[in-house]
Amino acid sequence: MADTISASGALDAVSVTLTVNGETRSIDIPPTVTLLDLLRERFHLTGAKKGCDQGQCGACTVMVDGRRVNSCLQLAVMKDGAEITTIEGLGTPDSLHPLQAAFVKHDAFQCGYCTPGQICSAAGMIAEGHATTAAEIRELMSGNLCRCGAYTNIVEAIEEVMGAERAPKLEAAE
């Protein structure tokens, strides 16, 4: 690895190309930059939150190639070529994603800091398809802490979206 360290001791920047919320973006960054810090400090996409920087709180959850991921535990250089969806890419105030709308409807947050992570995690969990009951939602969402204690409302919001997604499928099956 000596060849990546310049005379000043600085790690040479590495070129990374990512698709973020549908837009291809290339940037030269040191290999020590996490995906979370890249999104927040360089791309100014501050929807992904830093709550612990060690994978314990889930506030930084984003979608990487369709899977929910703690972006604080990913070095950005390892995600070269990946497709990233952040909360900003999921929906906007004028055009909310069903999960975002359900969170507002059920008052599924208070301070709002864990919220983008909860919503991205819920989107990932629904895509995984393992949760069918409230108990399973609670279990599979337990990587996302909410200190304001909005858990019961979050589960209600997710259940509503899951129910709405299932309903057309059930109709089709009949």
Partner 1 sequence: MSNVHPYVGRATPRVDGPLKVSGLATYAAEFFAEDMLYAAAVPATIAKGRIKRIDLSAAKGAPGVVEILTHENRPEIPEDDAPYLNDMVAVPGSPFRPLRNDKVLYSGQAIALVIADSHENARHAASLVTAEFEVETPTVDVADARSTAYEPPVPRDGIPPPPPPRGDAEATFKGSEIRLKHDYRVAPEHHNPMELQATTVVWEGGGALTIHNKTQGVINPKNYICSVFSLDPEKVRVVSPFVGGAFGMALRPHYDLFLAVLAAIKLERSVRLVLTRGQMWTMGWRPDTLQTVALSADADGKLTSVSHHAIQATSQFEDYQEPIVNWSGLIYDCPNVSLKYELAKLDVSTPSDMRAPGATTGVYALEAAMDELAYELKMDPLELRLKNYAEKDGNDDKPFSSKELRAAYEQGAKRFGWSERSPEPRSMKEGKELVGYGVATGCWEAMMQPHSARAALSADGRLEVACGTADIGTGTYTILAQIGADAFGLPIEEVTAKVGDTSLPMAPVEGGSWAAASAGNAVQLACAALKEELLKAARGLDDSPLANADVAHVTFADGKIALTSDPEKSVSYADALKAAGSERLEAKGDFAPDGEFAEKYASYTHSAVFAEVRVDEELGVVRVERIVSAVAAGKILNLATARSQILGGVVMGVGMALHEESVWDKSLGRIMNANLGEYHVPAHADIHDIDVIFVDEEDKANPMGVKGLGEIGIVGAAAAVANAVFHATGKRIRELPITIDKLL
* Residues in touch with partner 1 (CB under 8 A): 8-11, 30, 32-33, 37, 40-41, 44-54, 56-57, 59, 86-88, 90-93, 96, 100-101, 103-105, 107, 109-116, 119, 137-139, 141-155
Write the CA distances from 15 to 18, 19, 26, 80, 113, integer angstroms.
10, 14, 7, 8, 31
Closer by beta carbon to partner 1, 83 or else 101: 101
Closer by beta carbon to partner 1, 61 or else 168: 61
Structure tokens at 157: 């919001």
| Shortest Å distance, C-beta 90 to partner 1 | 8
Closer by beta carbon to partner 1, 125 or else 174: 125
| Shortest Å distance, C-beta 57 to partner 1 | 5
- Helices 115-128 and 98-105 cross at an angle (nearest 10°) of 130
The residues facing 62 across adjacent strands are 69
Closer by beta carbon to partner 1, 84 or else 154: 154
Q: What is the C-alpha to C-alpha distance for residues 126 and 141, in angstroms, rounded to an integer?
A: 10
